[in-house]
Amino acid sequence: MFSKLTVMERDAVLLHLAFAVICTVVLVLPIGLAVGVRLFALVLLYNVAVPIVGRRYPVAEWFDIWLFAFIISLFQVLPDWFLSAQLGVLMFPDDGLFKIGDVSGYMAGLWTVPFFMIMFIGTRVKSRVSSPVALWSVAAASLLIFVGSEETMWMIPSWSAVNVTKVGHVALYLIIPEIILGLSVYQVFETIRQRNHWVKIPAAFLVMLLYTGGLSIFYFIFEKVLS
C-alpha cells in the first residue's frame, strides 16, 4: 500500500495512525486524569503535530489545509452549542474540563481532525484522478468519519445524541448535513486556497452557517415532519 503513496501521503497516513494509537493509550489507561482533560491534551497534540510535520511540504498542500480546518473547528462550537442549548438534542457530560456554553472546551479544536483528513483526501484524489472523483471521495470520507464518530464517541464518554431518532447511536437527521459539511469544507477550501489567509475566516464562518442551517432543516424534517 505505502509503495503507491507519495512521501507526503505516506507521512499523513503514518501521522494519523500514530495519533490513533496515542489516543487509544491515553483514553484507555487509568492515568488519573478526567476524560475532558485527556481529550483536550490530545486535541492540543494534534494541532501542534500536524503543522510541524507538514513544514517540509508546500504550504498549500498541508499547512493551508490544517489552518482552514482549525479555523472552521473554532466556529463549530456555535452549532454544537445550538444543538445542546436550544434544541436539546446533543449532550456533553461533565468531563472535568471547562465548557464553552454547554460545549466541552476540547470541541473547539477537535473538528480539525476530520476536516484535515477530508480536505487532504479530496486534494490528493483531485491531483491523482479528477475533480468529480474527488467530490465523491470527500462525500464517502465524510459519511464514514462523521457516522463513525457519532457511533463511538459516546463510549469515551464524549458527546451523545439525545431526544432524536437514532440508528444505533447515530442521529438520522445528522447524516445528510454532515455529508454536506464535508463537501462544503473541501469545496470552499478549493475556492480560496490561493487567497490571503484572512479570507479563511469569513469563509469558515460561512461553512459553519451552512452546516447550522442544514442541521435545522433536517432536524425539522426527521423529527417533526416524518415523526
Domain segments of the chain: what residues? 2-225
Alpha-carbon distance 219 to 213, whole Å? 10
Per-residue pLDDT at 3: 60
Q: Which grid coordinates belong to 194?
A: 490561493
Per-residue pLDDT at 98: 94
Alpha-carbon distance 199 to 147, whole Å? 30
Maximum pairwise Cα distance, the chain: 52
Per-residue pLDDT at 196: 85
Per-residue pLDDT at 48: 97
Per-residue pLDDT at 2: 56
At residue 185, the 3 state secondary structure works out as helix
Q: Is the dihedral of CA 82, 85, 86, 91 positive or negative?
A: positive
Contacts 24+ apart (CB under 8 A), 150-153: 150/174
**Cα–Cα separations (whole angstroms), residue 78 to 34, 156, 211, 220:** 24, 22, 10, 19
Q: Is residue 23 packed enough to be buried (19+ CB in 10 Å), middle (13-18) or exposed (0-12)?
A: middle
Per-residue pLDDT at 158: 87
Per-residue pLDDT of the chain (227 residues; tens, 9 = 90+): 456 888 999 999 999 999 999 999 999 888 888 999 999 999 999 999 999 999 989 888 899 999 999 999 999 999 999 999 999 999 999 989 999 999 999 999 999 999 999 999 999 999 999 999 999 999 999 999 999 998 888 888 888 899 999 998 899 999 999 999 999 999 999 999 888 889 999 999 999 999 999 999 999 999 999 87
Q: Which grid coordinates belong to 13?
A: 497516513
Per-residue pLDDT at 78: 97
DSSP secondary structure string for all residues of 89-107: -EE----SS-EETTEETTH
Per-residue pLDDT at 36: 92
